[in-house]
Amino acid sequence: MAKRRKRSTAKDLFDLVAVLPWWVGVILAILAYVLLHRFAVGQVAVGVSMNQIGNTAAAHLLGALAFWGQYLVPLIFLAAALASALKRRRRQGLVASAAADSGGANLRALAWRDFELLVGEAFRMRGYTVIETGGGGADGGVDLRLVKGRETFLVQCKHWKAFKVPVQVARELFGVMAAEGAAGGFVVTSGAFTSEALAFVKGCNIELIDGPKLKAMIDAALPTLGDRTQDQPAATSAATPSVPPCPRCSSPMVKRVSRRGEHAGEMFWGCSTYPKCRGTRALSEP
């Protein structure tokens, strides 16, 4: 049996901040220095009684910890902010690579961890707040948690190159959704799904996204990203169809995938301000 790896407070702190946006880590570093510096330079009263001597010793100890902590804790936060920025840049590179490859070879060649990063970024592009919970291995549990408004959605990433994802995966996700009260869920794979899995999710508010659907999801979101797609090749941008205005509020529209009803799995134009506006258009409409 493999030995369990020991964790440290510094490592836990780094991992916690590294999943946040990089600017959050910078702000935390500044706040940590200001607060700890106040303790480090604070004057400690000298006690006479036994109780006062004990309190004085404790205050000296806290002052010493604060003295070193005012440098170490901000350094951890800044290192985590740098890791977050690098991961963000890597995610954008994965998106650009997937968008530029019409055959899907780049998507299938990804390592499982890069596949999770790509899927997370694809949902960010759709307006979700993404919390990465994976990291336990290629067959971990819930890999991503998505938040939009007051609703939470769960995501399972299955980077299976040669096999179809079976119905058991959708069943397990449905059970976790019920236990956590999630509004919906997604199973995303670079491969395909069995017919049993496709039949099971009908009426379960679970969307199955295979490789082509993931590619379409990324392509549909790219026109709305502005300067976030600077690494996208010009040829891809030129090939992107024009985006129609919403018939209700005139906001730009984005391509979405219907998750239920007789048109489940089909793409359509939806208002980019959803759920504020629920305007839709068929893809065939100008």
Same domain, 168 and 270: no
Same domain, 188 and 273: no
Mean pLDDT lowest for which of 23-27, 110-114, 270-274?
270-274
- Segment 3-28 mean pLDDT: 80
The closest alpha carbon to 39, from 8, 74, 67, belongs to 67
pLDDT tens-digit readout, 22-58:
899 999 999 999 988 887 776 555 554 555 556 666 6
Q: Is residue 50 part of a domain?
A: no
Is the model's pLDDT at 264 over the cut of 80?
no
Q: What is the DSSP string of the chain?
A: -PPPPP--HHHHHHHHHHTS-HHHHHHHHHHHHHHHHHHHT---PPP-SHHHHHHHHHHHHHHHHHHHHHHHHHHHHHHHHHHHHHHHHHHHHHHHHHHH-TTSHHHHTS-HHHHHHHHHHHHHHTT-EEEE---S-TT-S--EEEEETTEEEEEEEE--SSSEEPHHHHHHHHHHHHHHT-SEEEEEESSEE-HHHHHHTTTTTEEEE-HHHHHHHHHHHGGG-GGGGTTS-HHHHHHSPPPPBPTTT--BEEEEE--SSTTTT-EEEEETTTTS---EE-TT--
Q: Is residue 1 part of a domain?
A: no
Same domain, 38 and 137: no
Q: Is residue 4 part of a domain?
A: no
Q: What is the mean pLDDT of the chain?
A: 78
Q: Please indicate whether residue 231 or residue 81 has the higher confidence score (pLDDT).
A: 81
Same domain, 167 and 133: yes
What is the percent of the chain where pLDDT is above 90? 26
Same domain, 157 and 201: yes
Q: Is residue 89 part of a domain?
A: yes
Is the model's pLDDT at 228 over the cut of 50?
no
Same domain, 116 and 218: yes
Predicted confidence at residue 88, as pLDDT, reads 83
Q: How many domains does the chain have?
A: 3
Same domain, 119 and 88: no
Same domain, 75 and 95: yes
- The CATH number assigned to the domain holding 164 equals 3.40.1350.10
Same domain, 29 and 66: yes
Same domain, 275 and 190: no
Mean pLDDT lowest for which of 33-47, 60-74, 148-162?
33-47
**What pTM was estimated for this model as a whole?**
0.59
Same domain, 274 and 172: no
Q: Is residue 203 part of a domain?
A: yes
Same domain, 92 and 117: no
Q: Is residue 151 part of a domain?
A: yes
Q: Is residue 25 part of a domain?
A: yes
Q: Which domain holds residue 278?
A: 253-282
Q: Is residue 37 part of a domain?
A: yes
